[in-house]
A and B are shown apart, each in its own frame.
Chain A
Amino acid sequence: MSRARRPLALGAAAVILAALPLIVPHPFVLTIATQALIWALLAASWDLLGGYTGQISFGHAGFFAVGAYAAAAVTKHAGVSPWAGLVVGMLAAALIGLAVGFPALRLRGHYLALVTLGFAEIVRLTAQNWMSLTGGPFGIYDYRTFPGLPVEPLAHRRAAYWVVLAIVAASVAVMVKTCEHTPAAKAFRAIREDEVLAATLGIHTTAYKLLAFGLSAGFAGLAGTLYAYYIVLVSPTVGAVGTTSLAIGMAVFGGLGTIWGPVIGALFLYGLNEALRFVGVVYNLIVVGLILMVFVIFVPRGLAGVAASRPRRRQRAAARADGERALGSTGN
């Protein structure tokens, strides 16, 4: 996407997303769209860590679950308002992200992926076994959702959609801003390309990796809180590896290292996933697995890469060489 057309495209996307409840006032469609937005936030948060800094987390389901459980628990047991619950869940996930990220800083690649995978499994097992806090296999349910929303079902769905859209859009904007227009932007990429070189250049790699970990886990947790207040049921399955798998699939599908790529990838893939439910519940995940494999092998830059290289055919070869260096690239 060229710089000149970018505001235009963003504006068009914003108008379409915001007007969706008015164009298609159907509760089922709105439910799907709202959940797609929550997934978009999770996929984008994974991309911040995986696509920009190259730190591969297999534990985002864990951060998502921490956010969801923290929000649901404080609202149910302590009567905390859901608006404050959003902050509680996000902070809890960010703190745990730092706690996981700090000791894991020494590890790279495979090892970091395995540690985070183990972490997520521990979260899931805790959720399943700590009956008094998490409700065990049945989870936490029967607590308040966002206060002040209309009672009438369709109007309620509409309002909830707008709430989720606003929070997701703001979060994605913060992530794009951090990853493109702050000193962190260059540091993240330098760490991804060559951590040792980055450190020799005077980049404080530890601090920036922790920043990426905290931000990524925090936004994954925020996605979890939105899920908790939208679905009003949190059970151990949210922490299952499938959640991480789907989020990574969305990010790879959309194009790593772009933030907006994974957002579009998530909206698209979640839509496809739900549409394929009519064919059969298992076929959608078969397709997700296929997309993961095909995109990793043949389209490592994802949808974002395809969109970026079309208008500039001559630069395509150069862009491709650039994009292959890591799974993702800068995108524009």
Chain B
Amino acid sequence: MWESIADFVVQGIVLGGLYALIAVGISLIFGVLDVINVAHGEFFAVGGYLVFAAVVLMHLGPALGIVAATAGTFVLGLALYPLLLAPLRRRVGRRPSGPLYLVLTLGLSTFMQNGLLALAGGEYLQVPPHVRGILDLPFTSVSYQRLLVLAIAAVLLGGLFAFLKLHRYGLAVRAVAQDPDAAQSVGIVLGRVFGLTLALGVALAGASGALMAPLFNVYPAVGFPLTVKAFAITIVGGMGNLVGALIAALVLGVVESLAVMVIPSQWQNAIAFAAMIGVLLVRPQGLLGRAVAR
């Protein structure tokens, strides 16, 4: 009994680390650009395909594969702002954008999912574990693959937070999140910050796609359910609140794993969404957020 609980908790923390990478990216993009990226999970899928290409097709080794996936999605992310969001932003100007950005990223999601389907086919591609072996603990055992996911997730998130806290550009990103007009008036180029934020956000998704490829398999629609779940997490944590997203992700990961013992696993996602809807209705600013008029 206790062993299986320890087992589920460890699995839950790994799952939570994965959710955190995706949810923090979505929350970062929302906080800075005020855009909900519906296509976020598709970058997770792209990361998976890139690591598959690097490791299985080109025999480059897992470390290079993960770097390639992260860098590749980062570059794709850099193209997002000038190609898609900036033209729409110019058109809309200062008027409320309404559904425009949601529809735009929904279109991108459909385009990318089916683009991947056309390029790579619909098969479930398998990627061998980046590291092999199992770590034995007193209560339970964990595969090194899962530990690696957790370690890299921690490094990436730590790096992101340090970047936002310490680096000049990180400060600029936070300034824009707080008040775009004021940031612009002190000489921050909005377009550059928007482009960088998008690239950082989707690169986190790409990195998690590369990390999870051995555990999840790779197929075109692999990311979409994660996007929807990450929405739930960002809302529970408070939109734009990165620490909130991180905590909510870890909690949901553990709760979901433990819930398997009580509730059939196929209802897991429904519970996450119900929690999201409940939080939105009762506390729209998120459990950890400050009260703000929405």
Contacts and interface: CB of A to CB of B under 8 A. Distances in A.
Nearest to A126: B270
Interface string B271-294: 001101100110010000000001
Interface in B70-109: 84, 87-88, 91-93, 95, 98-100, 102-104, 106-109
Interface stretch (B211-219, B224-232, B251-259): B224-232
A118 B232 contact: yes
A297 B87 contact: yes
B267 interface: yes
Give the residue among B87, B114, B231, B281 with the most A Cβ atoms within 10 A.
Answer: B114
Interface string A273-288: 0000000101101101
A26 interface: no
Given A106-B281, A286-B114, A113 B102 contact: yes
B99 to A, nearest CB: 4
Contacts of B30: 110
Interface string A119-155: 1011001101100000000000000000000000000
Contacts of B250: none
Secondary structure class of chain A's binding surface, majority of residues: helix
B269 interface: yes
B36 A110 contact: yes
A233 interface: no
Given A110-B36, A283-B118, A290-B107, A300 B294 contact: no
Contact of A296 (B100, B235, B277, B294): B100
A163 B95 CA distance: 43
A311 interface: no
Contacts of B106: 58, 245, 248, 292
A117 B110 contact: no
A114 interface: yes
A248 B98 CA distance: 14
A128 B265 CA distance: 13
B91 A125 contact: no
B177 interface: no
B88 A296 contact: yes
Contacts, number: 141
Contact of B104 (A104, A107, A117, A293): A293
B266 to A, nearest CB: 5
B112 interface: yes
Given A241-B224, A325-B95, A104 B110 contact: no
A114 B103 contact: no
B115 interface: yes
B98 A122 contact: no
Contacts of B113: 285, 289
A111 B284 contact: yes
Interface in B113-134: 113-115, 117-118
B232 A56 contact: no
A39 to B, nearest CB: 15
A293 B109 CA distance: 10
A142 B69 CA distance: 47
Contact of B228 (A107, A110, A117): A117
Contact of B114 (A241, A289, A293): A289
B163 interface: no
B118 A293 contact: no
B111 interface: yes
Contacts of A293: 84, 104, 107-108, 111
Contacts of A286: 110-111, 114-115, 118
B294 A111 contact: yes
Interface string A177-188: 000000000000
B110 A122 contact: no
B102 A128 contact: no
Contacts of B270: 121-122, 125-126, 129
A107 B107 contact: no
A264 interface: no
A327 interface: yes
A282 B117 contact: yes
Contacts of A114: 36, 231, 235, 276, 280
Nearest to B95: A325
Nearest to B274: A122
Contacts of A103: 281
A327 B99 contact: yes
Interface string A21-44: 000000000000000000000000
Given A121-B273, A285-B114, A327 B107 contact: no
Contacts of B109: 245, 289
Given A118-B276, A282-B117, 10 more contacts: A110-B102, A111-B235, A115-B280, A118-B232, A125-B270, A285-B114, A293-B104, A296-B104, A300-B100, A326-B98
14 contacts: A50-B99, A56-B99, A109-B98, A114-B36, A115-B281, A241-B224, A248-B103, A282-B114, A282-B118, A286-B111, A324-B91, A324-B92, A326-B98, A327-B99
